[in-house]
């Protein structure tokens, strides 16, 4: 059991810093740090019996199952993060096209289809998987436009031209 005294110790700070630096090195957003820390703890707890009892085949079998589960979980998470980054990059392309349309016509487009073919070759999808396609949602507002897409990470990402930035909504 972890005590509050241990959490305040330099060792706990070193572990926390290691998790944060590891996540930063992998390019993971800070929202995934609790999951990364949990995976590190689970992996350590799974390896502890093997270190103590190397000869038991059941322990090795269980550890192999936990390792496979953990690898699948990390792969799914990494795929979702990669899809989210790709959707954000595509969204940035759409935002740039909207701004170019505004410079050319002095107004934002009414729909994303208005950007085709001068600004974009086709209206892109926010998420394009083999079985799932999700489109960007675009709305004009009194002071500009809003563009959003649902993320594979269970959040809604919204770009407002008035603020000039993306924000994640839960």
pLDDT at 103: 95
105-113: average pLDDT: 94
Instruction: Please provide the average confidence, as pLDDT, over all residues in the chain.
Output: 77
Which residues contact residue 43 at a Cβ distance below 8 angstroms, ignoring those fewer than 6 apart?
A: 66, 70
C-alpha–C-alpha distance, residues 19 and 13, integer Å: 10
Q: Are 136 and 147 in contact (CB under 8 A)?
A: yes
Q: What is the mean pLDDT of residues 115-139?
A: 86
Least confident stretch, 13-17, 41-45, 112-116, 128-132: 13-17
Rounded to 10 deg, the angle between the 10-26 and 33-52 helix axes is 120
More confident residue, 141 or 57: 141
Q: Kindly indicate the confidence band of residue 55, based on its pLDDT and cuts at 50, 70 and 90.
A: low
Q: What percent of the chain has pLDDT above 90?
A: 35
Stretch 33-53: mean pLDDT: 64
* Strands 165-169 vs 133-135: parallel, antiparallel or unpaired: unpaired
- pLDDT band of residue 70 (cuts 50, 70, 90) is confident
Give residue 114's pLDDT. 94
Whether the CB-CB separation of 166 and 91 falls below 8 Å is answered with yes
Average pLDDT score over residue span 50-79 = 74
Between residues 161 and 25, the one the model is more confident about: 161
Share of the chain above pLDDT 70, in %: 63
């Amino acid at each position: 059991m972890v005590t509050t005294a241990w959490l305040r110790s330099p060792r706990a700070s070193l572990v926390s810093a290691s998790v944060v630096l590891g996540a930063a090195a992998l390019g993971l957003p800070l929202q995934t740090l609790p999951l990364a820390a949990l995976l590190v703890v689970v992996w350590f707890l799974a390896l502890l019996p093997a270190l103590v009892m190397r000869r038991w085949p059941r322990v090795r079998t269980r550890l192999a199952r936990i390792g496979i589960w953990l690898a699948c979980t990390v792969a799914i998470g990494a795929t979702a993060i990669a899809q989210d980054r790709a959707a954000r990059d595509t969204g940035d392309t759409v935002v740039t096209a909207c701004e170019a349309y505004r410079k050319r016509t002095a107004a934002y487009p009414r729909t994303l289809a208005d950007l085709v073919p001068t600004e974009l070759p086709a209206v892109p999808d926010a998420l394009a998987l083999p079985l799932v396609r999700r489109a960007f949602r675009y709305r004009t507002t009194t002071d500009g436009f809003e563009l959003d897409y649902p993320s594979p990470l269970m959040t809604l990402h919204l770009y407002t031209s008035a603020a000039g930035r993306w924000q994640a909504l839960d």
